[in-house]
Chains A and B, each alone.
Chain A
Amino acid sequence: MKMRIAKILTLSPSIAKFTLQPVSGALPVAAPGAHVIVEIPGPTRIWKNAYSLVSSPEDRGQYEIIVRRVEHSRGGSAWLHGHASAGDVLEVSAPQNLFPINRLAKKHLLLSAGIGLTPFLAYLHTLNAPFELHHLCKPEDEAAFRSLLPNAANITLHTSRNALDLNALLAAQKLGTHLYLCGPDNFMRVALATAQTLGWPDAKIHQESFGGATGGEAFTVHLQRSGLTLEVAPEMSLLETLEAAGLAAPCLCRGGACGECELPVLSGLPDHRDHVLTPERRAANASILTCVSRALSPELVLDF
């Protein structure tokens, strides 16, 4: 869908809210937790970044996203912060939801850090069971996030001045509570490990992480069936490299969450950064999720 930037609201030096309106027609309804892929033009290439929608699911006139300027950005968020202006037209995908609310939960416990708050802003439009939201952020971002959240007893912002006792919070929850996690990788790791140590069942822990999609060392990929050899540049993902070569590589979430882009590995050692493969399948190194994972060896050979 072609969408026009209608408004850019700067919330802090590194955080801005973008209001996007369709160039024509009405927008599809998007459930809380849904994201869109925004195509961002760069000088040499197009970035495709996933952003959670924060607008009300029933709003068919506009979508809102919140973008953090990523340090050492590959370019997408830097362009949105530095170059985008109202009136610009961007290509935006139809919304998809990889982070839905569990409707049988007796209570929702929402834990986020940094820009990971965004899907929960959409949740706030529709949650009907009791919920508690704890958001962790840097002191310099506190005012920006406070401006996005209602003032309510069950919504708490945590900075270094008001640290969250994660263990105590997770230990105190009653059966029937579902835990939702969204934030940077190190936050996700700590929160997940804490919940698992306390005995939370996997079925009650929900996560969606678009982190880890940043680049890394360059490597070479050889595609056995296509007969192509491609260089994956440091700021490009493997998936983007395949697409740039004109290949119709499978993909959906572009964030290592859905598993759609999995391709068989014939040789080489993948650097698994996804959230899909089980520990056993990771250890087997027989496949790779091209949207986020890279290579630990100089070359990968894929059956593609």
Chain B
Amino acid sequence: MDLNLKPAETFRGDFSVRNSDAAILRFPFPFHEDRYMYAVNIEPHMRGGPTAAYDAIFDLDEHYIGECEDRALTLLDDPLRCQVLPHMMDAEWDTLELLMESLALDYPAQFTLTKNDASWHWVNRPLGLDQHFTFGDPASLPCPPFEYITRQVQGDFTLQDQRENNLFMDGGMVTSQADWSLNFDLGMSFHEWHGPVPVAHETGVFDRALAYLLRLQLGRPVRRLNWTLTANPRLDTSPENYPIWGPDKAGITPENVGTKMCLRVELQTLTRLPRSNAILFGIRGYLIRLEELVRVKKWGRRLHRVLRDLHPDIAAYKGTLPYRHIIVDYLSAFDDGAVTSAGTSPDQDLL
């Protein structure tokens, strides 16, 4: 698969990150119609979809090096962003194998995995890593296997242990989250960690989603999209660092909203792991500035309509309240009232 990596850009400080035209066109736009409400929007994670972001099992893009460097910075400040409970060691190895095999298969120019029984050799060319290790022996890696491999993949990951007819968040690597904390949620059950989500509990969405996930089958991963709004293309919008990023919202004005305000979309994948019977939850985040997004005509029109008509409780949960009117005013200039096509594809090949 084509992977044109940029040199490292920043997701903090001067926020140098920009999306190329190709990156804009492959953005996994989340709204399939002109309005939004919660649903159990889970589908099989098969290769292929409305944009190229769905082509790989674990999608990488031009921001790979910068995102890995940003993760390393966050972990340096706060090692608790990566934690796995001791009974999940099989799930750690399951994750390492799955991610290494997927990357080597989808991006052979960048990654190579060679196995000789338990003696494995991993090469990550973009990050300059060349590691011989023994599968199953944590001492043969510079850090535990889950941390080792998730430092090398875009997106956050959590590990869910399945027991007592429930799922428990018993591990994770979470450095680019939309305002939730692994350190707080670690060990929680499915309904506990979803506690803060409004509206959806009452409609039984979580009961149905849990029943479905408990039966998730080996070799048949599923995916869903989630979204929120973030001021500045900042990966680390964690509760721990709220004092750093919280004030960003207050700086949103009609003049800078197009540049600073970003739609954050998570392409979430759920994969049953073979040894541990745990579920790996991948939260692959994509950030796009509004001024980048509106270059796709359909997406500009639709985002305007979705945010304008959003349920007030959901608008509050998504953190949009202080500046929603500024965003909607900005987007209204890109909504000519034309009918939009069903589905999320961009409907144009060039910007």
Contact = CB atoms under 8 A, between A and B. Distances in A.
A94 B90 CA distance: 20
A259 B210 CA distance: 13
Interface string A7-48: 000000000000000000000111101100000000000000
27 contacts: A28-B274, A29-B274, A29-B275, A30-B218, A31-B274, A31-B277, A34-B218, A57-B274, A57-B275, A94-B218, A94-B219, A95-B218, A96-B217, A96-B218, A100-B163, A103-B87, A103-B88, A103-B163, A103-B276, A104-B87, A104-B163, A203-B163, A203-B164, A252-B217, A258-B215, A259-B211, A259-B215
Interface in B142-172: 161-164
Contacts of A96: 217-218
Contacts of A94: 217-219
Interface residues of B, number: 17
Contacts of B277: 31, 33, 97, 100
A260 interface: yes
Contacts of B97: 29
A97 B90 CA distance: 15
Contacts, number: 45
Interface of A: 28-31, 33-34, 57, 94-97, 100, 102-104, 203, 252, 258-260
Given A31-B275, A103-B87, 5 more contacts: A57-B275, A96-B218, A100-B277, A104-B163, A260-B215
Interface of B: 87-88, 90, 97, 161-164, 211, 215, 217-219, 274-277
A29 B162 CA distance: 18
A203 B97 CA distance: 31
Contacts of A104: 87, 163
A259 B212 CA distance: 10
A100 B88 CA distance: 13
Nearest to B166: A203
Nearest to A32: B275
Given A103-B87, A103-B161, A28 B218 contact: yes
Contact of A31 (B161, B211, B215, B276): B276
Given A100-B277, A103-B88, A104-B87, A252 B219 contact: no
A28 B162 contact: no
Given A252-B215, A260-B215, A30 B162 contact: no
Contacts of A252: 215, 217
Nearest to A201: B164
Nearest to A103: B87
Contact of B274 (A30, A102, A258, A260): A30
A83 B200 CA distance: 55
A259 B165 CA distance: 13
Contacts of A30: 218, 274
A97 B215 contact: no
Contacts of A34: 218
B218 A97 contact: yes
Which of A33, A100, A103, A258 has its CB near the most chain B CB atoms (within 10 A)? A103
Contacts of A203: 163-164
A104 B168 CA distance: 12
Task: Return the 3 tightest CB-CB contacts between A and B, nearest first.
Answer: A100-B277, A29-B274, A103-B87
A300 B80 CA distance: 56
A104 B86 CA distance: 10
Contacts of B88: 103
A29 B88 CA distance: 17
